[in-house]
Amino acid sequence: MRKKKRMVIGIMIILAAIVVGVTVVSQSPRWSEKSFKAIVQETVTQPDGEIRLVIERTTEVYGSPVNSLGISEDTKLLGKDGEELSIDDFQQGNAVTVKLKDAFTEETPYYYPTVYEIKKME
């Protein structure tokens, strides 16, 4: 009787470990993706050629080009209907939706999220 209880408990533990393992493996690589609405303040081109988008949202202001959203060649810039745009199409006052990876780069004291997509809302 005792041996059966131990076997059942052992099987339950193994099944729980399998479920946890499958969940971790199947987790989306963008699990930390964050989306929010913002207003474009300005577009800044750094001396090294990096393009940064200064935005304002209700809870945070990325008011400095050093602490703003970096636009890379992997960033999708979209219009409200999904058509691709260039960075020049984003003007001060445009309402946008931003999708990014919510993470800090520990080598720098500034917030450098990976920006996946910026989409105009109007």
The pLDDT score that the predictor gives to residue 17 is 92
Provide the mean pLDDT of the chain: 78
Between 86 and 113, the more confident residue is 86
Residue 28: what residue type? S
Q: Provide the token pair at 46.
A: 């750094």
41-63 pLDDT, tens per residue?
888 888 888 888 888 875 555 55
The pLDDT score that the predictor gives to residue 108 is 46
Between 78 and 23, the more confident residue is 78
Q: How far apart are CA 68 and CA 53, in angstroms?
A: 6
pTM: 0.60
Q: Which domains does the chain have, with CATH numbers?
A: 33-120 (2.40.50)
Q: How far apart are CA 100 and CA 118, in angstroms?
A: 9
In a 3-state reduction of DSSP, which class is residue 61? strand
24-33 pLDDT, tens per residue?
776 655 566 7
